[in-house]
Each structure stands twice: as C-alpha cells, then as structure tokens.
A = this chain, B = another copy of it.
Amino acid sequence: MKLHEIASRLEVELEGNGEIEISGPAGIENACSDQITFISNPKYSGHLKTTAAGAVILAEDAPPCPIPNLRSSNPYLTFARIVQLFYAPPRPVPGIHPTASVCESATIGEGCSIGANVVVSEEVQLGGNSVLYPGVVIYPFARIGDRFIAHSHSVVREHCQIGDRVILQNGAVVGADGFGFAPLGDGHFEKIVQSGIAVLEDDVELGAYSCVDRATVGETRVGKGTKIDNLVQIGHGSSVGQDTILAAQVGLAGSTHVGDRVILAGQVGVAGHLSIGNEARAIAQTGVARDVAAGRTVGGYPEMEARAWKRNYLILKDLPKLVRSLRKLEARVAELEADAGGGESETD
C-alpha cells in the first residue's frame, strides 16, 4: 500500500514522498525500508537517526523529519490502526460446529460462530455475532452480550453476566468459586457455597488464565473498558472500576475495591477489604496493604509513595556505607569523650 493511501485512509497529514510502497508496520528498531514505524514518546526521537524504516508516524508538533512521515495527534493510535490495515486474524466460520453441545434451552444470537467441542449449557443467553473458539464452556444460566469473543478453554460459570464486546483470552475464567471457608474451631474448614456471581461490563478484556471469582453473596465486578492481562487473580467480592489496567500476574484478594483509570503494574498484590482510588497507580510488584488515595502512585512492599520508595532505594543500596558512617562517628565521639574525660580529670 502506498504511503499516501495509508494517510488518506487514516485521515492524517502526509509529509514527504507519499509514493513509497509500505508492506506493513514494525517496531522502530526492527523496521525495514518498506515498513512504517512510529514515535509516540519524544524521548525515543533519537532512533530517527538510525532507523531503517521507510516511513514514520510522528506527533503533529514534532520537528521536521527527513523520513516520509504521517502526522497524528495520537501517533500510537495511528500505528495501531495501521496494524489493523495490514492484518486481520483468521475468521472463524459462522454456524455451530457439529461437535459442539448447545443446550436446547440456550438462546444464541445471530451470526455467531460456535467452534468444535464448545459447550453451551441450559438457559444460557448469548448475544449476536459472538465467537466461541473450540473448547469454550458456558455453564448454565450465564447471560452474555453481543460480539463476545471467547478463546479456547475460556469459561463462563453459572449465572454470571457479561456485557457487549467482551474478549476472553485462552482459559480466562469468569466466576470460579471464591476462596471461602469457615473455620470449624477444630482446625478443619467448611466450604462456603459461593452463591454470588461475577460480572464483566462492556468492553472488558481478560487475559489468558485470568480469574474473576464469583462472590460468596452479591457479586464480583469488573467495570466497562477495563483491560486485564494474563494470569491475574480477582478475589471474590472485589470490584474493579472502568478503564482500569491490571498487568500480568496481579492479584487482588477478596472484597477489595479498585477505582477507575487505575494502573496496577505486573505482579502487584492488593490485600483484602481495601480501597484504591481513581487514577491511582502501583509500580510492579508493589504489595498494597492499606488504602491508596485517588491519584497517588505507590511502590514498595508494603507500599509507600512511589517517590519515597525510590529515594529510599538509593539509601538502601548504600546501607553498609551508612553503617560505616555511624561506626566511624561512634569512634570519633568515643575519642572526644575520652579527651573530655581526660580534660575533666586534668581540671580535677
């Protein structure tokens, strides 16, 4: 596709030679002369001198550039849309595969693709234009919106509710039993029936093997537009707000409430019964043991303000030096004391 054609399809401004042929998008370090790349963060603009890319997407206010380029108010988004111009995943065939087991009492919307060995149980409602890849299992009474995409081995458990345009990567589980056991007093535990549900609102994506547990009573909820990476655990009775990002291997214990537009980086853990305010952030591996106020960024274990944590880290790295300073000082004070004592004895 010629560069000017890309520019006109995406309605962005072209600077330089629009006649060059672009075969696809690439990262800035790997791009070849027939590929287009992007610079979203000005701190990477040094790469412009070394990249072999044939074209580049730049911010509207970026300085002039010798490489043919497209100007965008959101270069990363423009790049994302170019990826889509050049690639579409294989389309599953519409219809119900003969090996699928779809219960008669289930309601399936129009235009769905139900793959091999898929199981749709009794009383399930599934919206139109959905794709269930091979091996997906929908338990009884689940209610699912339109344009649902469920990759192989993902599961929606009994009574759970899912909005429109939700995506489950492979093996994501909505509504497995919450971890609830009542101590019997003799050291044993009795399982508490998890009678609640899990709810995913519109436009949620769950990564591979991520788990949103059903609640003991009531619900566990993930808000509209929230994106969750692989191997994440959302404990029972928790809620996650809208447009929040949970990176891989994050874990939320039960009954914890995470706000809107929050970002929790990889492997962050959050204890139970906490509240994390809107737009709060946590650095990777943070162990959150207390409430986090809206807009704060935390790091460390247990968490503290990220700035404090980074500052402390610099001290920690040099901790032995600190100890040596203290020891030296003790020696100096001892000497002063000896002198003073000597002085005293002299004055006696």
Q: Which A residues fall within an 8 A CB radius of B?
A: 24-27, 30, 73-74, 76-77, 79-80, 83-84, 86-90, 97, 99, 101, 115-117, 119, 121-122, 133-135, 137, 139-141, 151-153, 155, 157-158, 167, 169-171, 173, 176-177, 179-185, 187-193, 195, 203, 205, 207-209, 211, 213, 216-218, 225, 227, 229-231, 233, 235, 237, 242-243, 245, 247-249, 251, 253, 255, 260-261, 265-267, 269, 271, 284-285, 287, 289, 300-302, 304, 308, 311-313, 315-317, 319-320, 322-323, 325-326, 329-330, 332-333, 336-337, 339-340, 343-344
Q: Which of these, B188, B191, B253, contacts A248 with CB under 8 Å?
A: B253
In the complex, the answer to whether B119 meets A119 with C-beta atoms within 8 Å is no
Give the nearest-CB partner of A159 in chain B: B90
Chain B contacts of A209 at CB under 8 A? 171, 173, 208-209, 211, 231
Chain B contacts of A140 at CB under 8 A? 90
In the complex, the answer to whether A227 meets B179 with C-beta atoms within 8 Å is yes
Q: What are 25 contact pairs spanning A and B, CB under 8 A?
A: A24-B217, A25-B195, A77-B184, A83-B193, A83-B216, A84-B193, A87-B193, A88-B193, A89-B193, A101-B117, A135-B153, A153-B155, A169-B177, A176-B207, A176-B208, A179-B229, A181-B245, A187-B243, A187-B261, A189-B225, A207-B211, A231-B251, A233-B249, A269-B284, A326-B326
Give the nearest-CB partner of A103 in chain B: B116
Q: Count copies of this chain in the complex.
A: 3
In the complex, the answer to whether A207 meets B230 with C-beta atoms within 8 Å is no
Q: Which of these, B233, B265, B304, contacts A230 with CB under 8 Å?
A: B233
Q: How far is the CB of A101 from chain B (nearest CB, A)?
A: 4
Given contacts A170-B176, A179-B229, A187-B243, contact A269 B267 (CB under 8 A): yes
Chain B contacts of A116 at CB under 8 A? 101, 117, 119
Q: Which of these, B167, B205, B311, B339, contacts A340 with CB under 8 Å?
A: B339
In the complex, the answer to whether A251 meets B249 with C-beta atoms within 8 Å is yes
In the complex, the answer to whether A317 meets B337 with C-beta atoms within 8 Å is no
Given contacts A27-B217, A191-B205, A340-B336, contact A101 B90 (CB under 8 A): no
